[in-house]
Amino acid sequence: QVQVVESGGGLVQPGGSLRLSCAVSGTIFWLYTMNWYRQAPGKQRELVATITSGGSANYADFVKGRFTISRDNGKNTVYLQLNNLKPEDTAIYYCNIHQSNSWGQGTQVTVSS
């Protein structure tokens, strides 16, 4: 079965950084576009970033150059580098195989003083 496991979240101060990881198993990882989503309490889930099998990236407007998505096909892992974090970035961050119902449990990012 397909497994998606996010990690790397935590508590950081405004302006801090985190590197999120998403490890995928049970499928041919390099074939797929991968997505990062996030969801804050009381808000709808929103797409943060997307990366194609070839490494082309796209980002939501709210990222404003602060985040970078990347992938390592040899490790079956996609990353999300979060820089200059703001309190409004606080959310559970989820990894997803594009156009699928394969999701991880999420990793909590909390940005607070």
CA distance 3 to 11: 25
CA distance 17 to 35: 20
HSE, CB side, 13 Å, CA atoms: give it for residue 113: 2
CA distance 113 to 95: 26
What pLDDT score was predicted for residue 64?
Answer: 79
CA distance 109 to 48: 13
Question: Cα dist. 36→12, 43, 93, 104 in Å?
Answer: 19, 16, 7, 10
Cβ atoms 25, 44 nearer than 8 A: no
What pLDDT score was predicted for residue 42?
Answer: 94
Per-residue pLDDT of the chain (113 residues; tens, 9 = 90+): 899 999 999 999 999 999 999 999 998 889 999 999 999 999 999 999 999 999 999 999 999 799 999 999 999 999 999 999 999 999 999 999 999 999 999 999 999 99
What pLDDT score was predicted for residue 80?
Answer: 98
Residue 56, SS3 per DSSP: coil
